[in-house]
A and B are shown apart, each in its own frame.
Chain A
Amino acid sequence: MSKTLVWVEHEGGAVKDATLSAITAAAKLGEVHLLVVGQGVDGVAAAAAKIAGVGKVHVADDAAFGHALPENVAPLIVELMGHHDAFVAPATSNGKNIAPRVAALLDVMQISDILSVESEDTFTRPIYAGNAIATVKSKDAKKVITVRGTAFEKAERDGGSATVEAVTSTGDKGLSSFVGAEIAKLERPELTSAKIIVSGGRALKDGPTFEEVIFPLADKLGAAVGASRAAVDAGYVPNDYQVGQTGKIVAPEVYVAVGISGAIQHLAGMKDSKTIIAINKDEDAPIFQVADIGLVGDLFKVVPELTGKL
Chain B
Amino acid sequence: MPTIKINGRDLEYEPGETVIQVAHRNGIDVAHYCYHPSMSPEGNCRICMVEVEGWPKPVVSCKQLCGENMAVQTESELAQSARAGTMEMLLVNHPLDCPICDQAGECHLQEYSYELGHGESRSTTPKTHLPKNVPFGEEIVYDAERCIKCTLCVRFCNEITKTGELAMANRSDNEQVVMTSKGEFTTNYSMNIVDLCPVGALTSRDFRFKSRLWFMDFTPSLCTGCARGCNVTIGGRGGRFMRMEPRENQDVNQWWMCDPGRLGYGHVNSETRLATPAVRDANGQWQPATFEQAIVAASAALKDARESHDVLLDGGATLEELEAARALASAMGGQARFAAATGDDADEFLIVNEKGANAKGAEMLGLERQADAAPAAVLVVERDGNVPAALRDGAGAVVAFVTDATNVPDSVRVAFPYGSWAERSGLLVNVDGRVQELRAARQVGPGNLSPAFALMEELTGELDGNHVPRDRGELVAAVKNEKAFAEVAFPAGVAAGQTVGAGS
A binds B: no
Give me the interface of A with B, judged by CB distance under 8 Å.
none
Q: Which residues of B contact A (CB under 8 A)?
A: none
